[in-house]
Amino acid sequence: MMTGKEIRSRFLKFFEDRGHTIVASSSLIPHNDPTLLFTNAGMNQFKDCFLGKEKRAYVRAATSQKCVRAGGKHNDLENVGRTARHHTFFEMLGNFSFGDYFKKEAIAYAWEFLTVDLGLDKSRLYVTVFTDDDEAADIWHEQEGVPRERIYRFGEKDNFWSMGDTGPCGPCSEIFWDNGPEVGCGSPDCAVGCDCDRYMEIWNNVFMQFDRSADGKLTPLPKPAVDTGMGLERITTVLQGVKSNYDTDLLRGIIAFIEELSGKRYGAQADNDVSMRVIADHSRATAFLIADGVLPSNEGRGYVLRRIMRRAARHAKMLGFNEPALYRSARYVMESMSGAYPELIERMDYVAKVVRNEEERFILTLDNGLRILNDEVAKLKKAGQKVIPGEVVFRLYDTFGFPVDLTADIVEGEGFTLDEAGFEACMEAQRQKAREHWKGSGEEAVSGIYRQLREQGVASEFSGYGKLTDYAPIK
Ligand code: ATP
Ligand code: MG
Ligand code: MG
Ligand code: MG
């Protein structure tokens, strides 16, 4: 059986043998790009190469890129724990052509890698193309022999890729693997494009052709280019013949660690399984984000990290932890992944301290907040109502540190929603008060303890922290 690690190096070697330069993963904090919250795809570090603004010594590249999809345009936070295939943190394998090869070669490489190099069964693979991309459909059929009935056509939402609201974009062609009926939703309509885990997208080949400006206008790129992305965890699921990313060797270790720590068994009880998956995933995101220089805070990137950590803390509570546990699972992640990402080693103690501090602070208010929320739910149920009032959501947010999406997540299972307009009104009233009473510099976002930690733990070449407030607004 091939390990995740072997698959990662096989991919890079395959493309190296075909003239691609292997480039290291860039940081999760996008370099000099305020339009992007976190690095969400392999192509991010090459954005200017696609736009023709930057020339490099190579026109073909391949990477294994750390990605985070939480907040921002590609947001998978809500999917984590519920699907077998979505993470907030994952690794994306990619090959890139900067004005060199285009559709024909990209499709040929992808198909050769999957069906020859990795030996995947063609009868379980499907492909998609953008609505009117006959060229790509013909290449799949005529050049690679994929039967027409296995080639699907989808519109903008699925088959036109963009990294954000602006920047490089273009039609794309995705490759799907049939995980088998046991994994699916069982609906007679279930097919490629269904939201369930049966037909799993493994690889996206983007034919970069445009630059989208803020007003939505598409300007052709100087040269058409190729950007591809394949989730390492997903292709590993396929090759290891398991049903979920969490059963691959890439995540099985962290799950086992959580089993041991909690004394609960994965696979024994559905709610616990969700909690274990959330903790496993969020521990990875937390460790990597902090190692790359993000700190939990009340705004921007730091707030997305805080939301991830508080979701994890709540699931830890549900699993029965009454003491901080995430700093231990984050440490496990760093120890087990430092081979591929050596930056984790030197920052290990620092990251564990930051996680522990954030956890300890939140644990102090979590129980009380949950009690208030549960009382509210019970009261509303009696009254036959299903909406949590804005003032309650605000109080949980303001006094107990519950991010709004956390509150929504907690009550969703019981069919409750939040009065968001009411919450916004409370927020606005508070902002108004703050404007009247306080003239802050913004530096307060980093509390004293974090400032101390960063002074202790930072090597001078580590430039991440300076960018704490260099982010695009979340909405
Ligand atoms: P999906 O439709 O399954 O959400 P996507 O179309 O949003 O995937 P792309 O933006 O095309 O994904 O990213 C390229 C590849 O990265 C995907 O084909 C998939 O293998 C992987 N990938 C995307 N999102 C995630 C995620 N949240 N967790 C793990 N892997 C992912
Ligand atoms: Mg997606
Ligand atoms: Mg998709
Ligand atoms: Mg896709």
Domain ranges in the chain are 4-240, 248-465
- Closest atom of ligand 1 to 40 CA is 10
Q: Are 396 and 426 in contact (CB under 8 A)?
A: no
> Ligand 1 pocket: which residues have CB below 6 Å?
69, 74, 76, 86-87, 90, 92, 201-204, 229-231, 233-234
Residue 170's nearest CA partner among 74, 89, 51 is: 51
Q: What per-residue confidence (pLDDT) applies to 34?
A: 82
Q: What per-residue confidence (pLDDT) applies to 468?
A: 29
User: What are all long-range contacts of 244-250, with beta carbons under 8 Å and residues at least 24 apart?
Assistant: 244/84, 244/85, 244/197, 245/84, 245/85, 245/87, 246/84, 246/276, 246/277, 246/280, 248/4, 249/3, 249/4, 250/4
Rounded to two decimals, what is the model's pTM? 0.91
- Burial, 337: exposed, middle or buried (Cβ in 10 Å; 0-12, 13-18, 19+)? buried
Q: What per-residue confidence (pLDDT) applies to 33?
A: 85
Question: 60-97 burial by CB neighbour count: b if 16+ within 10 A, else e?
Answer: bbbbbbbbbbbbbebbbbebbbebbbbbbbbbbbbbbb
Q: What is the pLDDT of residues 268-297, one digit of tens each?
A: 999 999 999 999 999 999 999 999 999 999
Q: What per-residue confidence (pLDDT) applies to 446?
A: 56
- Closest atom of ligand 1 to 92 CA is 16
Beta bridge partners of 239: none
Q: What is the pLDDT of residues 23-51, one digit of tens each?
A: 999 999 998 888 899 999 999 999 999 99
CATH number of 4-240: 3.30.930.10
Using the predicted structure, report yes or no on whether residue 460 has a pLDDT greater than 50.
no
- Closest atom of ligand 1 to 172 CA is 11
Pocket test for ligand 1, best of 36, 73, 92 (most atoms within 8 A of CB): 92
Pocket test for ligand 1, best of 86, 120, 159, 194 (most atoms within 8 A of CB): 86
Using the predicted structure, report yes or no on whether residue 401 has a pLDDT greater than 60.
yes
The protein residue whose alpha carbon is closest to atom 7 in ligand 1 is 74
The protein residue whose alpha carbon is closest to atom 31 in ligand 1 is 231
pLDDT averaged over every residue in the chain:
92
Residue 94's nearest CA partner among 137, 49, 135 is: 49
**Lowest-confidence region among 218-222, 436-440, 444-448, 457-461:** 457-461
If pLDDT is split at 50, 70 and 90, which confidence band does 396 have? Answer: very high
Q: What per-residue confidence (pLDDT) applies to 445?
A: 52
Rounded to 5 degrees, φ, ψ at 464 are -55, -40
CA-to-CA dists, residue 416 to 378, 380, 382, 396, angstroms: 11, 9, 13, 16
Q: Are 199 and 234 in contact (CB under 8 A)?
A: no
Q: Rounded to the nearest whole angstrom, what is the distance from the C-alpha of residue 74 to the centroid of ligand 2?
A: 6
